Amino acid sequence: MTRRPRPASAPPRATIADVAAAAGVHASTVSRALNPATRGMVTDAVAARIAEIAQRLGWQPSTLAAGLRTRRSRTIGILVPDLVNPVFPPIVRAAESRLAEAGYATLIANTDMDPAREALLIERMAAQMVDGLMLASAARGSGAIELCRRWSIPTVLINRRLPGAGLSAVINDDGRGMALAVRHLLALGHRRIAHLGGPAGVSTATDRRTGFRAALRAAGLPVEAPIVAAEAYTEEAGRRAMQSLLAGPAFTAVAVANDMLCLGAYDALAAAGLDVAGDVSVTGFNDMPFVDRIAPPLTTVRIQHAEMGRRGAEQLLAEMADPDTARRETRLEPELVIRASTAPPGRGSGA
């Protein structure tokens, strides 16, 4: 005894055959009339009548059946490390909107930064025959890229790039963004500036660290500034990283790789009896929601969340439409937002 998927009371959904019968034409004619791409092959009068009948019967195309035939599911997958990280919702949302406009549904999954889980999810997306993939979870050695290649799934990276992967990416200009933050600290008079960096293997972390060093060098400062890498982009990791910075050489300002890390950093500073801005200036990265309302409001680098999602979707649509579309790395311009977490040095003692 198998359970029937739909209650017996519900009428089965109308198919093209039903419409054809009602219209007194062949199913192929109905298919042509109802498919925008082939509507032109059919007499206007017939097409109109078919459309009317389809409407009356409540016909809906079955993406499954169409997809089986055409080998496209009109579905796009988006993989994010963790949807709860506030950086991602605006990106995902913008991408979803653009894709919906183009008639695509959006499959979302969280990788938890677990390569095994990520691989599983990609396999599953491949099984679902997604037409394209947007990866916000790119990291060195994840194997994701070769899976996408193996299943020939058009793929675009967002937020993070992966040098050598040969994939399009829509990212922030992380180096420039970090330079904006560092130059701001220098302008305030800071000379002993530390860097609280992101986790290894992630482009946002390496690009921002590189940008940090370059900005110091450009200012003629010694580059052997205190640098610590957090193990992940989390509050807790930020707390621990800040603790280890505080155990090292003194500094009056710290350029942090990510706003989430800043929250933990704030805690660690408070625990050490230090005042943000007063004793240690702090800059973040991302301008994620509500960092303008924490105490003190965070000076940070604003990224173009929505634009990133939109442009990523755009690029993916282009590559799906024409596989020969040139791969490109789009770097979005970041912008410094100055708030109250930065101030000239010397008001307090530094750290």
Partner DNA sequence: TTGTAGGCGTTATCAA
Partner DNA sequence: TTGATAACGCCTACAA
Q: Two tokens at 107? A: 């499959």
Q: Is 338 left (phi over 0), alpha (psi -120 to 50) or beta?
A: beta
Give me the least distance between CB of 235 and a copy of itself, in Å please: 10
Q: Two tokens at 151? A: 């299943």
Residue 76 or 228 having the CB closest to a copy of itself: 76
Residue 43 or 218 having the CB closest to DNA: 43
Q: Cβ neighbours of residue 108 under 8 Å, at least 6 residues apart? A: 77, 78, 79, 80, 83, 92
The binder of DNA chosen from 21, 22, 31, 349 (CB under 7 A):
31
CB under 8 A: which stretch of 137-145, 218-226, 286-294, 326-334 binds a copy of itself? 286-294
Beta strand spans in 88-181 (E): 105-110, 132-135, 155-158, 168-172
- Residue 217 interaction partner, one of a copy of itself, DNA, none, beta carbon < 5-8 Å per kind: none
- Residue 46 interaction partner, one of a copy of itself, DNA, none, beta carbon < 5-8 Å per kind: DNA
> CA-CA distance, 209 to 143, in Å (whole number)?
24
The binder of a copy of itself chosen from 19, 54, 125, 303 (CB under 8 A):
125
Q: Is 40 left (phi over 0), alpha (psi -120 to 50) or beta?
A: alpha
CB under 8 A: which stretch of 27-35, 47-55, 56-64, 206-214 binds a copy of itself? 56-64
Cβ–Cβ < 8 Å for 315, 331: no
Q: Cβ neighbours of residue 243 under 8 Å, at least 6 residues apart? A: 268, 272
Element at 314 (helix H, strand E): helix 305-321
Q: Looking at residues 53 to 92 of the shown chain, list those that interact with DNA (rule: CB under 7 A).
A: 59-62, 65-66, 68-71
**Is position 12 an interface residue for DNA (rule: CB under 7 A)?**
yes
Identity of residue 118: E
Can you give the binding site for a copy of itself, defined by CB under 8 A?
3, 5-7, 10, 13, 58, 60-65, 67-68, 70-75, 82-84, 86, 88-90, 92-93, 96-97, 100, 105-110, 121, 123-129, 131, 150-152, 263, 266, 289-291, 293-295, 321-323
Can you give the binding site for DNA, defined by CB under 7 A?
2, 12-13, 15-17, 25-29, 31-32, 34-35, 37-38, 41-43, 46-47, 59-62, 65-66, 68-71
